[in-house]
Structure formats: structure tokens, C-alpha cells
Structure 1
Amino acid sequence: MRYFNLNSNNLTGSLPESIRELSSLEELHLRRNSMIGVIRESHFRNPSHLQILRPNGGNHFSMKLNSDWNPPFQLIGMLDISYCNVGPNFPKWIITQTNISELDLSNAGISGSLRHNFGDLLPTGLETIVLSTDQIHGKTPNLSTTRLIHVYLSTDRFAGAEPLFPPTLQVVDLSHNMFSEPLSSICASSFGAHSSLNKLSGKLPSSLGNLVGIFVLRLHENNFSRELPSLENCTDLQMVDLGDNNLSGIEIEFGRNLEGMRSIDMSSNYLVGEISESIASMTELKSLNLSRNHLTGKLPEDFGNMKNLESLDLSRNYFIPASFSRFNIS
């Protein structure tokens, strides 16, 4: 037997060790069941041809494997063992899997810190790594030597400076951590940046406006202050979330070269002045939240022409009431 798929069968109990007798097994799928128990090295003693392993998704396995275990197989593609307890240390056997391109270890019971040269140990073809919702703490390792495209490190306990990233990076999620130093390498590439709910502070670097390929900028609930750098060169930008910071003393200038924007949240800051007329050119905008600022004056003449707008929050500002008559409410 080469292909064994038991997905969605309401299975309970543990994985029988007799699975090791399937010496020709290439794919094992166990997702969307309610299985429990311990997975040990003895389960994989003979399946040297195993390429795809899917034990997660509703199951609650623990993987108790020796730190020096060298699997007899080479997995390919995605290795998803999220919600399997593989901790507390990062499983060293994964480093031997040189053909995987995606690795998901979210909610896998990993704690402690990662070695600084962690990036050098990862498979060279790895493009996506997910270590979210674990208890990993300390500084984030140097990832600049990898070829990672997507990095998800949210809801951990990383602290200190933001990590060094490779030029291949497109998406990074560092939200819900304890980063505290100013942004650095996050402005060295073009990607979707999520770094909300940290303790980042200081002025947003002007190099942020050089991320010509960025499509999501989410730095919600930090302590950024002073001016917002120009984003007019970020022509692929679709979402900006800078809510709950301390941005102040600026006039909003949106719209120029940003016609593809879908969502803007700059609520709970100290923004002043009027909303620029150019915002009406953002015809794809669906959500705009500028509440809890110090904005004044009239709303732009063409504000009511943004036909795709589904959510608008301008509460707790100082707009001239008469300007709201420009909205055609039907």
C-alpha cells in the first residue's frame, strides 16, 4: 500500500504501531478525526518511502521522538504538524527533511528560545514557516540567509529587535509579540508586514515608502509617533492599519497612485487637518476608519462617490456637520 487516507472518519484512539508494517507507504493522511496518543519512532521504522505526512486537524497527538532521531524517509512539499505536541524543543529531525517547502508548527507546544543560526539549519528549499501560537521567547534568529517567502511568528513571546529577513520575503506576521526596538530590516524588502500588538515605538522610517511591492501594512497598536511617511510609491498597497498609535501633527494625503487600496484604519491617533480631496480617487476602497482623531473641516466634495465603500467610521473628530449632506443615503 502506497496511499492511505483516513481523513474525516470520526476515528478515535491512538495510532497503531502496526502502521510500520506498511513498508511501501508514501502518503499517510489522518486529518479531521479525534485521535489521541503518542507517535513514536517505532511507528516509522519501516516506511522508508514516506513522502507526505498529515497527522493533524482535529487530532491531539504528541510526538515523542529522540533528539538524535534520523528518519528513514524524506518528506516533500508541506509538513503540517500543527496542534501536535512536538515540544518543548524545536524537533531536530525536521532539519533532516531537505525536500520540504512549507513547515507548519503552530500551536505545537514549542517553548524556549531558538538558536541564532536557526536560519542556517533550515532546509534550503523552505519557503514558508509557521511558528505561531507557541511559547517561543527571546530574540528572533537571523533569517537573512534563508529563501523564505512567508514567515508567520505571531502570538509568541519574541522580544528585542525585529529579525533580519531575506530579500525573497513577501509576507511576515510578527503580531502579538514583545518587539520593542525601532523597525529595521522590515523595510529592506517588499512584502505584507504584520507587526501589530507589540511595543514598537519611534518614528516610522521614510524607507517604508520604498516598499514598492508591499500589499499589506499592519502596525496596529504600537507606539509609533510623529509623521506618516509618504506611501505614494507603494502602488500595490491594498491595506493600511496604523490604528492605536501616536501619529500626530499631520494632514492625511491619500489617493495619489493608491487607487487599488481596499482598507484604511488610522483610528485612535492624533491626526489633524482636513481629509485630502485625493481620497475620492480610491474607487476600490471598502473600509475607512479615521475615528478618534482631531480631524477638522469639510469632507471632500467627491466623498460620496466612493461607491464600493461598505464601512465608514469618522466618529470623534471635528468635521463641519453640513458636509455630511454630500452622502447620498438611500
Structure 2
Amino acid sequence: MAVSSLLRLLFFFVFFVIFVDGQCLDDQKKLLLDLRSEFKFNSSVPHSIVNWNETGDCCEWNIVGCDDSGHVTSLDLNSGGISGIIGESSALFRLTYLSRLGLSRNDFTTSEIPNQFHRLPNLAYLRMSSSGFMGPFPSTLANLTELVELALSGNFLTGSIPSFHNCKNLESIGLSYNNLMGTLSHLHFQGLRNLSRLDLSGNSLSGTIPQHLFVLPSIDMLDLSNNQFSGQIKQISIVDHSNLGWLDLSGNRIGGPIPNFFFQLPNIFNLWLSDNLFNGTFKLNKIRSLTRLSSLTLSNNNLSVDTNNMSSSSYINVLHMSSCNLHDFPNLRNASYMSSLDLSNNRLRGDIPSWIWETEISYLDLSFNLLKGLKKALISPNFSVVLLANNRLTGAIPTFICNASLLGVLDLSFNNLSGSIPPCLINKGIVSQVLNLRGNKISGVIPDQFSSKCDLQTFDVSNNNLGGKVPMSLSNCKNLLVMNVGNNNLNDIFPCMLSLSLRILVLRSNRFQGDLRCSKSWPNLQILDISSNDFSGRLNFLNLSSLRGMMLQSPIRVRLKRSDSNFLGANSVYRNEVTLTVKGIEVKLVKIWPDFTSIDLSSNRFRGEIPDAIGDLTSLYLLNLSHNSLTDAIPRSLGALTELGSLDLSANKLTGRIPEELAKLTFLSVLNLSYNHLSGLIPTGSQFQTFSADSFEGNAGLSGFPLNGSFNNPHRFGPSPSDDSEPKDEEIEWGYVFAALGYVVGFGSIAWTLLCHRRLRERYFEKIEEVADKIFYERGRRRRHERRVRRREERRNGLRRHHH
């Protein structure tokens, strides 16, 4: 009986222990429910806090972890659909047993990181990346002596980085892409013997780079890219057992010669030094000793790279040497693993060697060189991006390119290529995303052979000698975003069959005719340039109310300079960062779209009134209706175009007064109403007072400033396009805009074209400014020339009348 009682007691004890082990304590459950009440949350997100309630064991709730005593030790709220504010008195800071906390990829955009994390003394893993936290970096995080991993990347944190020398257990620090400033001292990470990953990229850190960072005992990945570090890096001794494998210093202001110890790192596989101020001559054969080196970028420094005695590493995968003063191709015949080669903006001459086409390269950029020919070769099927723009290539487009399996991007723009477009580029769908043949001497017609599976996003054949019509089969390209056939000899009507996804359409300086009557519209259209053609009819045939892409959403204002060289500034684009992994390499890229919208219908034969509906296009930045036969009054609805920076209605037959509403367009920097039939006083307004008399001349009935209140300006009615303009001469060079945008439409083309290439992005922005400069400078120059010719003619006529 005693034994039986003892067994029952033992059973009860074991049952009790099993039952209570790991059961959530009441105070812990209350704290979790209090924390839940502090947040807003998306109930549709799985594994969120939506199912936390009064019943049940909180240690069995999803995303909650407990120790054997029932204390909450882990909260994984990453991607939990949570928003709100974490207050200084939040229940979170009473969960004092927490060792792991994940809040990444939520929405705390109005919240600062509280200074209370020191109340969580056991915290070892803190992950709060990409959650919109703002405000100063909390220095109390450096007091968490148990901290192993700190991840705060992709927020909006400001201020300086505190010293973490007390956090001896730290293994990983990720603070990239914030707004952190200041310098780093030798104390910041001193003594962190376990630190293997330090990522401070994408901030505004300055000063010199502390040398001890390169010799931290366990450091494997050091990323200081895209900051403002400067000065030189001095030579230091590297021990043979250094673990440093990933070193990214690109996008800074580091000068002097490249330190030799970089090439003594036995385990280095990624060495990115592009976009700095490194100078001197660099001998490429230094990389021969780096048997594990996979990726090397030297682009856009002040270097002269010596490729002599170079026998390439068989493991090199990425080699970028743009703007390195190269005269000869490096010997890469044995680089059997090469996938990305950038030798752009150098002084390479002669023919492109045939062995290049036989490699495993997928991304090839040889643009901006002095290359003349393409040797015939068996092109490898791996090629995905081929950029040969701005060289001196002659002859016909080689058909061996059609042997590639699938090219994402082919750019042969701004060369001296002639002949016709090879049909195989079209009918085989060889180029899947971007085909840019702009600025050559290509003739013939555009092959009408676009397949039903066409995925083309950018098609640019502008500034050639093409004739014929726009192929009807282009309607098969359902994803077409950019279509530029400007400055050719096409003879057609408006291409109503084009994809509804169009964002940019340029038909300028051809022989298009007819009206704009289409049964459909393009809701995403941002740039429409059909100037210098023979279009006619009324503007209300264009369904303006459907152009939602030109209606105001979230503008970024950039004021035009008030001079003859007005420009559309580089800030008039917005950037969305994209991170992709290409063959195991994580690459941060940028998608670029124009924030400005524009309509250019100048130098045609449009007649009738300007539709009131144009006032609905509230994000319009440039509107040019000049050199047509438009009549009636200027609609007051133009006053709703608050983003308008340039308005040209000159050389029409407009009548009546200038609407007072135009004087309220404070963003307007370019205005031309000359040579119409306008009358009355010029409206007064702070912006209108900055325009010269040239903006209003040729209107006999106008008076007031800046015409000095007189009616004696020359009486000359607006000339018609037939007698006063030649479409081919009225050039608006949108081309560079499309050359810039051509590479970056869609995530695919963006990914390949801007791969690891910050300077190329900057070059595109410079081209945007350059072409905009040309837009306004050329137009202003021609306007001044026309005025001088008119005035001379008027003086001669006046002298003749006086003589008679």
C-alpha cells in the first residue's frame, strides 16, 4: 500500500512538472496583451499578433518563444503588418527576459527608436531593419553587453554612431542606408574580437577610415560603400589568417594609391573600389595571387590600369574597369567563369576581339570607346546585356548577334551603323526588353515581324533614315513602355494600335499625318512628343481625361533656371531602390522614371480651340502647342497646371486676353505667347514680371509690362507652319532622355543595365540635364534668329515705304 501511494505521488509529481514546464506566466501574458494593444496591425497577415487573446498558453502563440520557467525570451514580429509607435513606457521594455526581438519590415514611420532598450539586459539579437524608424540613433543600444546581432538597416536614423567597444559579443552590425553622419574613431569597434560582419553602407559618414577595421580578428564582410569617407588608406601588415572576404569601399572620396595590402588578403573574393578618387597606375597582374577573387571593380577613379603581363584568374566572375584609361583589352581568354565585364568609357580602339563573344559573359559594356568593328564570331548563348553605344562601329548590324539565345538589352546607339535592321532581331524575339539603335544611319523599314510573344519594353530607333510605316505587329508587344521613332522618314498615321502600357511615345520629325482620333487611350503616358509632323484636326480628338499618368499624384518640384539654358533638373526623377541577386551576388539597383510629364504637339497643323480638359493634366511640366493654327482664347483651366514649368503657345491664332490664372503659376519659368492675336493688359504677378518682352511680342493688342504699357509692338500675326516653320529644324532633342530611360524600364532591364554601375546612373542624369539644356537653348537660339530676320525685314519694308 505504501509502495502504491508512493507511485501515485511520483506520478502526480511527474505530471505536475510536465504540465507546468514552459507554461506562460500570467504577468508575461498580460505584458504581451498590453503590447498588442499599443499597435495597429493588419489582420490578414499570417503569423501576426492578431490571434493573441486572454485564453490559452501565450508560450504556444505563434512568434512567441519562452524559457522553461515561462518567461518570454523571443518575439519574432518581422513582417507582421504592424504599425504605430513604440513609446518610452511600452510594455515591450518590461519583458526583461527577452533575448531575441524582431521588428523588421513593419511600419513605424512616425516613431523614433526609444532610449529604453537598456532595460532589456539579456537582449542578444535585435532586428529592426526597413521599418521606417526615424530620429537620432539611440546611444543606449551600445550598453547592451549581451548583444550579438544588431540590424537597423533601411531606416531614417540620424546622428552619429556610438562606440560599441563594450559589446564584446557582437558578431554582426547592420546600419546601412540610414542618414547617419560623423566620423569613426579607433574606439568605435575596438576589441570586438567576434565581429564578422560590419555594414555601414549608404550613409553620410565622413573622415578617414580607421585602419583597425581591416584587421579585426574575425571580420569577414566590411561594407563602407556610398558614404563620404576621404583621405588615404595607409599600408598595414596583414596576417596570413585574415578572414576578410568581402570588402566594399565603392562610392566614397578615398584618394591616393590603392593599398597593396588589399592584394595580400588570402580569402578576399569581393573587392569593390569603384567611384572613388584612387589615383596612380595600377598593375592588373596584382590580382594573380588572389586565387579566390571573384569580383573586382575599379571603375570611375583617377586610375590608369596597366593590363600588361596579365593572365586572368580562372575564377574571376565580375570585372568592372570603366574610366580606367585603358588602351588595350585585358587578356581574359582563360576567364571561364566571367559573367560581367565593364570596360566602358576608355580608349579601346580597333575591332572587338572575337574571343569576347565566345566567353560565358552575360553582361558586356564596351560603350563610350573608339571601337570600329565587330569581328564575326560564334556568340555565346549566355549574353543577356550587350552595350556598345557611343563607339565608331560601321557597316551593317552583324547577324551573328541573332545566335544569342535571349538578349535582355541590346544597345548599339550612337555609332555609324548602316544597312537595315536584321529581321532576325525582330522575328526571333532575340531582344526581350530593350532594343536601342538610336543615332545611326540605318535605312529601310522596321520589319513587321514582332511575334505574338513579344516582351519588348523599350524600342528606340530614332535619329536614323528609316522609312515606311510603324509595324502593326508592334501591337503584340503588350509590355511596351518606351517607343521612340523620332527623326526618321516614317510616313504613317497615328499608331493607335500601340500597347496600353506606354509611358513614353515619341514620333517627332517624321511625316505622320491625319488626326489623333483613336478608339483607346494610354492611361500611363507621361511623355508625348509628336511635334514637327503633319498632324491635323482638333486637339479634342485626343482623349485628355484618360491620361491619368499626367495627373498629379506626388510631384517632386524642381524649378527651371530662368535663362536661355533652362533645364529639367536631375532631381526631377524619383528613385526606387531594388535589390536583386544575380548569380549569387547581391546588387543594389535603382529604377528611374521621369517625375515630370510633357506634351509637345508643336509644328503641326492642329486647329480649333485648346481643350479645357488639358487643365486636368495637373502634373504637366512642359506643354508646347506652338506653330499650329489654334484659335479662340487661352483656356482659364491652364491655371490649374500648378506644376507647369514651361508653356509655349507661340505662333498660333489665339485671341482674347491672357487669363489672370496664368499669373498664379508660380512654378512657371519658361513662357512664350508671342505671335498670336492676343489683346488687353498683360496680367501682373510675381512670376509674370520676370518674363521679357520676347514672351509677348507679335501681339498687336497687348499692353503693359514688360511692353512698357504701349501698343506699338510690331503687328504680325502668328505664322502658319506651312510658311514659317520647317519641322525638321524645330528640333527638341528628347533623345538622350530615352537613351537614359531606355536601359531602366522594368525591373529586368534596370537590373542588367545598371548592374554595379553607379557612375552610369549619374551619366544618365547628366544626359537628362544635357538634353534639356539643348531643348531650351536651341529653341531660344532659333527664336532669336527668327526675330532678327523679321526685324531686318520689317526695317527694310519700313525704309521702302519711307522712300516711296
Distance 1:168 1:19, change over 3 A: same
Matching residue of 2:115: none
Q: Distance in 1 between matches of 2:356 and 2:490?
A: 35
User: Match for 1:219 among 507, 512, 520?
Assistant: 507
Q: Distance in 1 between matches of 2:271 and 2:609?
A: 63
Matching residue of 1:3: 270
Which one has the bigger strand percentage? Answer: 1
Matching residue of 1:136: 417
Q: Secondary structure at the match of 1:50?
A: coil
Q: Distance in 1 between matches of 2:442 and 2:616?
A: 40
Contact 1:37–1:60, Cα closer than 8 Å, also in 2: yes
In the TM superposition, residue 20 of structure 1 has moved relative to its aligned partner by 4.5
1:26 equivalenced with 2:294 (yes/no): yes
Q: Deviations over 1:247-284 (max 9, x none)?
A: 22343434121132221011111111112222122122
In the TM superposition, residue 240 of structure 1 has moved relative to its aligned partner by 0.2
User: Match for 1:180 among 460, 464, 467?
Assistant: 467
Question: Relative contact order, CA 8 A, sep 6+: which one is greater?
Answer: 1
Matching residue of 1:207: 497
Contact 2:635–2:659, Cα closer than 8 Å, also in 1: no
Q: Secondary structure at the match of 2:497?
A: helix
Matching residue of 2:112: none
In the TM superposition, residue 114 of structure 1 has moved relative to its aligned partner by 2.2
Q: Deviations over 1:115-147 (max 9, x none)?
A: 33523x2253x3222222222222223323225
Equivalent residue runs for 1:101-116 within 5 Å: 101-116=384-399
Q: Distance in 2 between matches of 1:187 and 1:104?
A: 26
Contact 1:132–1:155, Cα closer than 8 Å, also in 2: yes
Distance 1:60 1:272, change over 3 A: farther
User: Match for 1:287 among 596, 601, 622?
Assistant: 622
Equivalent residue runs for 1:252-291 within 5 Å: 252=540, 253-261=542-550, 262-291=597-626
Q: Distance in 2 between matches of 1:165 and 1:38?
A: 45
Q: How many residues align?
A: 320
Contact 1:243–1:266, Cα closer than 8 Å, also in 2: yes
1:51 equivalenced with 2:333 (yes/no): no
Identity of aligned residues (%): 26
User: Match for 2:338 among 75, 80, 102?
Assistant: 75
What residue ranges of structure 2 are gaps of 5+ in the alignment? 1-267, 364-383, 551-596, 665-684, 686-804
Contact 1:266–1:291, Cα closer than 8 Å, also in 2: yes
Matching residue of 2:645: 310
When Rg is computed on C-alpha atoms for both structures, the one with the higher figure is: 2
Contact 1:165–1:186, Cα closer than 8 Å, also in 2: yes
Question: What is the TM-score of this pair, normalised by structure 1?
Answer: 0.83
Matching residue of 2:435: 151
- AA in 2 matched with 1:52: V
- AA in 1 matched with 2:343: I
Question: What is the TM-score of this pair, normalised by structure 2?
Answer: 0.37
Contact 2:500–2:523, Cα closer than 8 Å, also in 1: yes
1:162 equivalenced with 2:446 (yes/no): yes
- AA in 2 matched with 1:227: D
Deviates more, 1:137-146 or 1:235-244: 137-146
Q: Distance in 1 between matches of 2:523 and 2:460?
A: 21
Q: Distance in 1 between matches of 2:330 and 2:312?
A: 17
In the TM superposition, residue 36 of structure 1 has moved relative to its aligned partner by 5.7
Contact 1:87–1:110, Cα closer than 8 Å, also in 2: no
Matching residue of 2:329: 63
Matching residue of 1:233: 521
Distance 1:231 1:195, change over 3 A: farther
Contact 1:137–1:158, Cα closer than 8 Å, also in 2: yes
Which one has the bigger helix percentage? Answer: 2
1:319 equivalenced with 2:654 (yes/no): yes
- AA in 1 matched with 2:337: Q
Contact 1:24–1:48, Cα closer than 8 Å, also in 2: no
Q: Secondary structure at the match of 2:492?
A: strand
Q: Secondary structure at the match of 1:61?
A: coil
Distance 1:137 1:70, change over 3 A: farther
Distance 1:278 1:29, change over 3 A: same
Q: Distance in 2 between matches of 1:146 and 1:302?
A: 47
Contact 2:620–2:641, Cα closer than 8 Å, also in 1: yes
In the TM superposition, residue 291 of structure 1 has moved relative to its aligned partner by 0.7
In the TM superposition, residue 301 of structure 1 has moved relative to its aligned partner by 4.2
Q: Distance in 2 between matches of 1:133 and 1:82?
A: 14
Q: Distance in 2 between matches of 1:87 and 1:268?
A: 42
Distance 1:250 1:64, change over 3 A: farther
Q: Distance in 1 between matches of 2:461 and 2:418?
A: 13
Distance 1:14 1:180, change over 3 A: farther
Contact 1:273–1:297, Cα closer than 8 Å, also in 2: yes
Contact 1:203–1:224, Cα closer than 8 Å, also in 2: yes
Q: Deviations over 1:4-55 (max 9, x none)?
A: 4443345455754554454433112221135568858x63x44111111212
In the TM superposition, residue 327 of structure 1 has moved relative to its aligned partner by 2.7
In the TM superposition, residue 290 of structure 1 has moved relative to its aligned partner by 0.5
Deviates more, 1:129-138 or 1:226-235: 226-235
Q: Secondary structure at the match of 2:483?
A: strand
- AA in 2 matched with 1:260: G
Deviates more, 1:260-269 or 1:1-10: 1-10
**Aligned residues: CA RMSD:** 3.0
- AA in 1 matched with 2:514: R
In the TM superposition, residue 325 of structure 1 has moved relative to its aligned partner by 3.9
In the TM superposition, residue 237 of structure 1 has moved relative to its aligned partner by 0.8
Q: Secondary structure at the match of 2:357?
A: helix
Q: Deviations over 1:79-120 (max 9, x none)?
A: 43333436535856235436444332222443322233523x
In the TM superposition, residue 192 of structure 1 has moved relative to its aligned partner by 0.7
Matching residue of 1:171: 458
Distance 1:16 1:31, change over 3 A: same
Q: Secondary structure at the match of 1:24?
A: coil
Q: Distance in 2 between matches of 1:79 and 1:251?
A: 49
Contact 2:488–2:510, Cα closer than 8 Å, also in 1: yes
Q: Distance in 1 between matches of 2:455 and 2:433?
A: 6
- AA in 1 matched with 2:396: S
Matching residue of 2:239: none
- AA in 1 matched with 2:344: S
Q: Distance in 1 between matches of 2:506 and 2:290?
A: 47
Q: Distance in 1 between matches of 2:601 and 2:640?
A: 21
In the TM superposition, residue 297 of structure 1 has moved relative to its aligned partner by 1.2
Q: Deviations over 1:192-226 (max 9, x none)?
A: 11222222223233323xx1111000122222222
Q: Distance in 2 between matches of 1:296 and 1:275?
A: 8
Deviates more, 1:257-266 or 1:95-104: 95-104
Distance 1:317 1:324, change over 3 A: farther
What residue ranges of structure 1 are gaps of 5+ in the alignment? none
Deviates more, 1:244-253 or 1:2-11: 2-11
Q: Secondary structure at the match of 1:143?
A: helix
Q: Secondary structure at the match of 1:267?
A: coil
